[in-house]
Structures are given as C-alpha cells and as structure tokens.
Amino acid sequence: MTEVLKKELINYLLTFVSEKRKTRFDEVIAQRTDHLRIVLENVYQGHNASAVLRSCESFGVQHVHFIENRNHLKISEDVAMGSSNWINIHRHNKTPNNTLDAIRTLKKEGYRIVATTPHKNDCTIDQLPVDKKLALVFGTEIEGISQDVFDQADEFVKIPMFGFTESFNVSVCAALCMYELTTRIRKNIANCTLGDKEKVDVYFDWVKHSVEHSEALIKDYLEKKQIGGNAIGL
C-alpha cells in the first residue's frame, strides 16, 4: 500500500474517531522515537516482558525486539495494559541463532549494540553517549546476557547501585535506563523522532486499532474507490 493511499485511509478512518482522540494521536506521534530500541534476549517471564513493553510505550520507544532462542514469549495484557497495540514488536525466532540474527539486523540498520550487565564496567547509564542510535539489550532474569551478546556488543552499561543486591529486576532496570536515555535523547538529538514515512505507517496502525471494524471499513472504501475510478475511466 502506498504512502499516499495510507494517508487517504487515515483521513477516512479519523472520521470515526473523536476530536479528543485525534488530538492525542497527534501529541503522541510527535514524541515517538526510533533513536533507541529495546532488545529482550530469552526473557522467559511474561510479566517482566509485559512490564518492559508498558515502559517502552510510556517513554515513547516505538520498537522492541524479542529474541526467542528458548521459548515463545507471551505478553500478559494485565501487566502490559494494552501497550502492545501502540508499539512495534519484532520477534526473532526463526534461525538457529536468533541472537546473532537480531544483532546483525540492528547493526545493519545503524544501531550500536549496548549490553546491560553489572559484570563489565564500561560506563554507567548516565555516561552512555546518545549521539548515535542505540539498541539496549537485556538478558534473561537469572543468567543475564548470553556470550553472543557479550562478544558482539559495541558497549556495556550498568546502573549504579549502592546496596548489597547485585542487580535490579529486568523490568525495573529497563524502565530506569529508558528514563535516563530518552530524556537525554529528546534534549540533545535534533532528529530523534520517527521519520515522516514511519509516522504514517505507525499512525495508520493506531487508527486501524482504534476504529471498530476498521478492516471492513477499509475494504468498503477501497471497493468504492475502485468503482469510482473505473467510472471516471469510462
């Protein structure tokens, strides 16, 4: 579907949306960022992954990657609170080594791979440079990041801690990191929001999700458009 047609369909579907809802869409899309992506590797507790999704949506991070080498991660909607409807989830579960597949994909798209671990002291989260696009990788609840992530990472980061406990829960860690990084990204990076084309794609998905029977409405609109086009052609 072309960008022009998507814009046309957005305008059509917005006629079924309240003005208040439309205003909220416009406010949120203006703050969405793809400068930071979150990557969860082998996180097996659905409530943890769901809490991360909720934080991503709240902080305006549009893309999340699930690396599923061991299991298919299930989203708990009671925890996610519908956040999965507003962000893009990429599942890596089709290759012999899904971790390497995800990392290679992200690097190809220009992301620096930043591994979160308390066991290698590159820098703390407040010192991590944000001038380049970042993919922040969180490992499994018990073991942390895999050796593949450790070997492929461009940088390592940790959150300063001052107690006896070695690490935060993964969802808490992700939320703390996202708050720090998105705050500095929005303050210091001029073009950190979504590009124009991606804004259209994301907005289209949001409107489709928000309008009841949107697929049927789109089908009806396109059929009428085709009939009208044929009539004009005649």
- Position 151 in a domain: yes
Residue 61 β-bridge partners: 33
Q: Is residue 23 part of a domain?
A: no
Contacts of 66 (CB under 8 A, 6+ apart): 40, 43, 49, 73, 89, 90, 91, 92, 93
Cα(44)–Cα(56) distance, integer angstroms: 18
Residue 231 pLDDT: 46
What mean pLDDT is predicted for residues 145-169?
Answer: 90
| Span 58-77, pLDDT tens digits | 999 999 999 998 778 788 77
| 158 is a domain residue | yes
In a domain, 86, yes or no: yes
The residue segments making up the domain with residue 126 are: 33-188
CATH number (domain holding residue 38): 3.40.1280.10
Asked, for residue 9, whether it belongs to a domain, the answer is: no
Would you state the pLDDT for residue 57? Answer: 97
Decide if 52 is inside a domain.
yes
Measured distance CA(89)–CA(12) in Å, rounded: 26
Is residue 122, in this structure, part of any structural domain at all? Answer: yes
Tell me the per-residue pLDDT of 6-17, one tens digit each, with 9 for 90 and over. 999 999 999 999
User: Domain tally for the chain?
Assistant: 1
Range scoring the smallest mean pLDDT among 141-145, 170-174, 184-188? 141-145
Question: How far is it, in rounded angstroms, from Cα 139 to Cα 39?
Answer: 9
Strand-by-strand arrangement of the 36-41 sheet: 88-92, 63-67, 36-41, 134-138, 112-116, 155-158, 123-124
Task: Grade residue 197 by pLDDT with cuts at 50, 70 and 90.
Answer: very high
**Residue 206 lies inside a defined structural domain of this protein:** no
| CA 50 – CA 66 distance, rounded (Å) | 11
Per residue in 201-211, pLDDT (tens digit) is 999 999 999 99
